[in-house]
A and B are shown apart, each in its own frame.
Chain A
Amino acid sequence: MKFTMGWLKEHLVTKFNDQKIIDKLTNVGLEVESFQNQKSELDEFLVAKIIKVEPHPNADRLSLCDVEIGDDNIVKVVCGAPNAKSNLYTVYAPPGAVIPKSQNKLSVSKIRGVTSYGMLCSESELKLSNESEGIIDLPSKHYSKKIGKKFFLNKSPKVVDISITPNRADCLGVKGVARDLAASGAGKLRIQKKSKINFSGLQNIKVQISRDKNQGCTAFGSCLIKGIKNKESPKWLKDKIISLGQKPISAVVDITNYIMLDLNRPLHAYDADKINQKIIVRNSKNGESFEALDNKKYTLENNMCVISDNSGVLGLGGIIGGTRSGTELNTKNILLESAYFKPESIRYTSKKLNLDTDAKYRFERGIDPNSIEEGLIKAAELIQKICGGTISKLDIKKNENFKNSYIKFPIDLFENTTGFKVSDKEIIKILSDLGFSIKKNKKDLNLKVPSWRPDIAQPIDIVEEIVRIKGYDQIKTIIPQKTRNKQTLNKQQKLFHFLQRSVASKGYYETVTWSFTDSKINDFFKEKKNDITIVNPISSDLNVLRSSIFSNLVFYLKKNLDRDIKDISLFEIGPIFSGKQPGQQEIVIAALKSGKVSRLDWIEKGRVVDVFDAKRDAVKSLVETGLDQKKFYIKSKTPNYYHPGKSGAIYQDKSSNLPIALFGEIHPNIIQKLDIKTEALILFEIFLDRIILSKSKIRDKKKKYEYSDFQKSERDFAFIIDKDFDAQELVKIISEIDESLIKNVKIFDLYVGENIPKDKKSIALSVTIQSFEKSLNDHDLEKINDLIISTVQNKSGAKIRS
């Protein structure tokens, strides 16, 4: 919403200066976005100084000037003026400027092979005089300190631009803004003179509002103005329109716009001679079409509120008029419309047609239904004044009568809500200044809500009115109490924050990427899940919700590899989606690592990352959260984006249905198809929501502290075993033989190759044996030794390697 201070003061008598008005506007909730001169094309022309002049290499009559244009910026300009010389102050037009005389828009161009950035101007080019011999020579005395400043003073009035929240339709007109200011003590609302209009004759174009279901129009006021001479608007009107950055069109159109901006009362003017017999306000029928004033053709669906005549649709009520009945400079007779359209109807139609206009914006937020007559009279009077003509009597057709709303306002609600008190007297003053009619009844105020405030519906809205006019700075600051009745984080949230830092502490950089992704990349990571498509994505490569975080991580990995960073460790913690219903999502950590460990290291040999790096990071993170690694169960089946032979799934225990983590190398196909240039790429994922958290604290879960000081023995074994047999099983078999004696089982070697059958592998383990009761003698150790060998052989078919 824009207006000039002068316009505001047509409605407001005030002693406030501009700055005080600006501050007040923001304080009452009409946030001032800017207060500056309307931009002018002439703003571009700058005072400049020629620093150096050289002859043009390819043209005798041209010279090449170095021109200072402010802030020590120097540009090269080709100039044909004979008077171009160094130390000359003149006027510079940059590329983009429009030359007043020729109306040519400058661009950076080559003149006889030399690039010229802009132009130096003569008086005639700037329409200052007819002097076209040479460029302007400004007196250095006046201009030496003005280099880079605008040459033309911008005389356009300063324009206030306020952002109006959707509830404040009343402030989309200057008068409404003035009313708020007056209520807040900035001045007095100016009482408008009663117009002395001479009505002559009847409005004889019949208007009919049809009784359609969900009729969007409740009232249609009109009058005929006959015998006008439409013309260019007078200067005062043009200036008003221009000051708001709009283009004047003709007196009739400018007047309707002026009334809209002034009173927030949209009007429409028809060329009465182009209306076929009568006006029918009705619902549209599917397939009807018309050409609107934006020169586009619209095809309508059922139930859009249209203004029509016997030939068809003239326009969309409250949104846009049609070309068929538009006014022109030669229009003689006009029908002026001032109507009320329901916000929901306007919204429905404009959304369907994707149409946004000034009128639509206003009707959608709610126009004062009682302003129909005022708008007609004010506009008709102005039209008559400027264009002549006779004004018919007003014709107001109504389908529904507007009823003011009433609110019973308990006065103490104000203090209960805001925490401070305002006297009853002052409350009544504020509300009455805002247009409320008030009856006081002990502890309540019975309020009649002004017709221009459709947003006010209940007592709490009244509280807002009072507090915003009184000023939010009146609200006290109550210092918060430092008490806590509930834990800040629940267990699941603690796990989130713990794992986030746990993974980062292993050398991974945390990133945050969109929750949506490119379906083409997502396909690699979604297995059999369905696409969850976004109906209106910002671009076609961000068109689905991610089924996995890896689609984004891999995409950005590639970008970083392209920056020639080789060893990259990234992770993200966030949601992945399995369906489009709320809640069909789970929290996942996804991490990847590319390249080498110890690349170009003077002391350690470099090696590419592998599946066991991924496993270490996944397992360690899980163990750090307090889970028992001994219960973990590893399976080799993983989703298809992992390398089928070099990946695994970690289950919290053997009976779990779903893995809590996955790890492995990425499937080589993905590397190839996405053209990822790295030596190796490993991944792991942790599914936070699948982790079953114990209700007890870690301290409560710990076993009693026990230790043995008896002699400890370590025995080594090497078993030859089927290649497919899981090492995890072998360790388990040994561990379970006698848990009171076997303290630890550690694999220290794996061998395949010579001296071992092709389908077998050799696993060497070190077993720690210790008793709580005694030092074990040779006989005891021999016994357990034999038991280990025989049990392993029986349960796994392995043979001890001799």
Chain B
Amino acid sequence: MSDIIKIKDEYLIKLSNNLDLNDVNQIKSELFGKNGKISNEFKKMGSLSADDRKKFASELNSIKDELQATIEKKIKEIEVSEINKKLQNEKVDVTLPERSFSRGKIHPVSQVIDEISSIFSEIGFSVAEGPDVENEYNNFTALNTPDNHPARDMHDTFYLDDKKKLLLRTHTSPVQVRTMLSGKPPFKIIAPGRTYRSDSDQTHAPMFHQVEGLHIDKNINMGHLKGCLNYFIKEFFEVDKIKMRFRPSHFPFTEPSAEVDIGYTLKDGKIVIGQGDNWLEILGCGMVHPNVLKNVKVNPATYQGYAFGIGIDRLAMLKYGINDLRAFFETDYRWLNHFGFDPLDVPSNYRGLSR
């Protein structure tokens, strides 16, 4: 009996020493190996009387359990301390740069087109498109601008043939013609896209972007036009209040026609939209001319509605503080990086139009 207690005490002391994994395994085999001290004690049991055996077995098993538990504990301790020791050598300078990544950009014009589409989507407009090359009929004649009309001079047109029958569209309005010719009213579309005019200076580019709007139904009047544009401008510039002025103007394809100005002030050289006494012209609009409706086989006695055309590049400049129109199309990598948008930044009404 005293033998096993002695073994226990001896090894518990040993195990309390500073040991490595080999030492512990050595102890383990000294105790529980084939000829281990504890193993041998179990062998002795056969020679004991039944009563003694029961008592001895109980004692021995509890000592065995205690030693085994201590050994297991010791092993875990050693493992933890060894990992800790190893970790001390594995420290890196995490202030070094991460593995490189690249980030793309969306052009401001594309971003603004998405913003515009998102706003008009809310009030039921869908997006329509048309080709960049147009015939003279869709670009002018169908839009109530006959050949000898002086309004044609206001559009410096790029032509693709000497007879001036084929051209690069000077506005997005021919999409109105195509949309109405290929469907039945009501129509409620916007048509963003590239447009072309052959002038080029600091404030004019030979290519620019417009978005056309068209809403034709029964009983659509100028009040709807005003409401629609008022809504759009407020949403686009993300302001609660907007100062807006409708001014009579003339476009051959609308009657009555209007130009729309918005109020702004200059603060620290930057344009602030929505207040102030200065006016900035941002779009042209009007009620679609009955002649246009007739040309596209819509009965002006039953249907009427409005159309508008907005310069997209201009809106982008105003909203994002870009001064130079020409820079939009010059592919300066630094400019694209500066004014471009993250591709994940998709304008939507519930996440907000812009960040």
Contact = CB atoms under 8 A, between A and B. Distances in A.
A420 B299 CA distance: 23
Interface in A441-486: 458, 460-461, 463-464, 467-468, 472-473, 475-486
A575 B340 CA distance: 21
A31 interface: yes
Interface stretch (B31-39, B44-52, B74-82, B103-111): B103-111
Given A31-B249, A514-B207, A534 B160 contact: yes
A747 interface: no
Nearest to A508: B104
B71 to A, nearest CB: 37
Contact of B103 (A461, A485, A507, A581): A507
A417 B249 contact: no
Contacts of A514: 206-207, 329
Nearest to A511: B331
B151 to A, nearest CB: 5
A488 B126 contact: yes
Contacts of A463: 255-256
A545 B106 contact: no
B255 A464 contact: yes
B73 interface: no
A29 interface: yes
Contacts of B247: 26-27, 29, 31, 472
A483 B109 CA distance: 27
Interface string B173-202: 000000000000000100000101011100
A347 interface: yes
A651 B49 CA distance: 90
Given A489-B127, A604-B100, A416 B222 contact: no
Best-buried of B125, B159, B224, B340 by chain A (most CB within 10 Å): B224
B331 A556 contact: yes
B158 interface: yes
A460 B250 CA distance: 13
Nearest to B306: A417
A800 B149 CA distance: 79
Best-buried of B109, B149, B160, B289 by chain A (most CB within 10 Å): B160
A577 B133 contact: yes
A504 B248 contact: no
A20 interface: no
Contacts of A500: 106, 110
A481 B124 contact: yes
Interface stretch (B3-11, B114-122, B263-271): B114-122
B129 A493 contact: yes
Interface in B52-98: 96-97
Nearest to B178: A582
Given A419-B221, A511-B336, A602 B97 contact: yes
Would you call the interface of chain A mostly helix, strand, loop, or mixed?
Answer: loop
A486 B186 CA distance: 11
B99 interface: yes
B354 interface: no
A497 B129 CA distance: 14
B354 to A, nearest CB: 15
A654 interface: no
B172 interface: no
A607 B226 CA distance: 58
Contacts of B148: 343-344, 347-348
A364 B147 CA distance: 13
B109 A512 contact: yes
A488 B149 contact: no
Interface string A116-149: 0000000000000000000000000000000000
Contact of B100 (A476, A512, A537, A598): A598
B333 interface: yes
A476 B109 contact: no
Nearest to B259: A31
B223 A477 contact: yes
B104 A504 contact: yes
B96 A602 contact: yes
A348 B250 CA distance: 23
A463 B222 CA distance: 11
Contact of A28 (B123, B231, B248, B328): B248
Contacts of A534: 158-160, 168
Contacts of B124: 480-486
B310 interface: no
Contacts of B123: 480-483
A481 to B, nearest CB: 7
Nearest to B190: A488
Given A460-B289, A602-B96, A536 B198 contact: yes
A556 B107 CA distance: 15
Contact of A580 (B102, B160, B329): B160
B135 A582 contact: yes
A618 to B, nearest CB: 15
A565 interface: yes
Would you call the interface of chain B mostly helix, strand, loop, or mixed?
Answer: mixed
A153 interface: no
B250 A509 contact: no
A167 B249 CA distance: 9
B126 A464 contact: no
A348 B127 CA distance: 39
A570 B336 CA distance: 10
Contacts of A458: 290
Contacts of A473: 245-246
A533 interface: yes
Interface in B197-214: 198-200, 206-207
Contact of B222 (A365, A418, A481, A580): A418
A472 B131 CA distance: 34
Given A344-B148, A534-B158, A478 B134 contact: no
B343 A504 contact: yes
B223 A419 contact: yes
Contacts of A542: 206
A475 B104 contact: no
Given A481-B123, A482-B122, A514-B206, A472 B154 contact: no
A505 interface: yes
B336 A29 contact: no
Interface in A97-116: none
A625 interface: no
A404 interface: no
A563 interface: yes
B132 A575 contact: yes
A358 to B, nearest CB: 14
Given A504-B105, A585-B133, A480 B227 contact: yes
A42 B138 CA distance: 52
A365 B150 contact: yes
Contact of A497 (B107, B114, B149): B114
Contacts of A468: 248, 256
B158 A537 contact: yes
Contacts of B100: 598, 601, 604
Nearest to A485: B124
6 contacts: A343-B148, A416-B219, A463-B256, A485-B188, A535-B159, A565-B334
Given A344-B148, A582-B135, 13 more contacts: A343-B148, A347-B148, A418-B222, A419-B221, A419-B224, A477-B223, A482-B123, A488-B120, A500-B110, A501-B346, A538-B200, A556-B330, A581-B166
Interface of B: 96-97, 99-107, 109-110, 114, 117, 120-127, 129, 131-135, 138, 148-151, 153-154, 158-162, 166, 168, 188, 194, 196, 198-200, 206-207, 219, 221-224, 226-228, 230-231, 245-250, 255-259, 287, 289-290, 304, 328-334, 336-337, 340, 343-344, 346
A-B interface, 9 closest residue pairs, ranked by CB to CB distance from nearest: A29-B248, A507-B102, A165-B250, A419-B223, A556-B331, A504-B104, A464-B256, A468-B248, A504-B343
Interface of A: 26-29, 31, 165-168, 343-344, 347-348, 364-365, 416-420, 458, 460-461, 463-464, 467-468, 472-473, 475-490, 493, 497, 500-516, 532-538, 542, 545, 552-553, 556, 559-560, 563, 565, 568-570, 573-575, 577, 580-585, 598, 601-604
